Amino acid sequence: MAMERATRQRDAIRTAIEAAKRPLSPREVQQEARSKVPGLGLATVYRNLKSLAGDGIVRTISLPGESPRYEPAESPHHHHFQCVTCRRVFDIPGCPGNLRRLAPRGFRVEQHDVTLYGRCSDCNKRGGRASR
């Protein structure tokens, strides 16, 4: 049944994002969700991500110069770490807080993003040679 397959695809994609505990690229979503929906195509992943974002279930993480990643929309305030070697993005729980004082006098801060860049523990262990 086409309808059933569509539901299964959407559920698998949603579950992959919720289980990941870090923002996933569409390709990573595809890899994770394929264990439940063999043959899942990238175009289908993109279509479902768009619809899940439109329904407020997932949200987009946009880092400069990177294609979007996706994470559950209801995650509490947190920040990200991007590995410069494998390009994966990880969650950093918590927040340095009180960034308002960095703004010039008379300016009002409404929101902030903090992204740390470096090597993840996997890449660090491998000695850090660039590999994609």
Contact, 80 vs 24, CB < 8 A? no
Alpha-carbon distance 75 to 91, whole Å? 10
- DSSP strand pairing (78-83 vs 115-118): parallel
Hey, which residues between 83 and 122 contact Zn ion (CB under 5 A)?
Answer: 83, 85-86, 95, 120
Dmax over CA atoms of the chain, in Å, equals 62
What is the smallest separation between the CB atom of 119 and Zn ion, expressed in angstroms? 6
Binding segment for Zn ion (CB under 5 A), chosen from 16-24, 31-39, 60-68, 81-89, is 81-89
Closer residue to Zn ion in complex, CB, 14/69: 69
Q: What are the residues binding Zn ion (CB under 5 A)?
A: 83, 85-86, 95, 120, 123
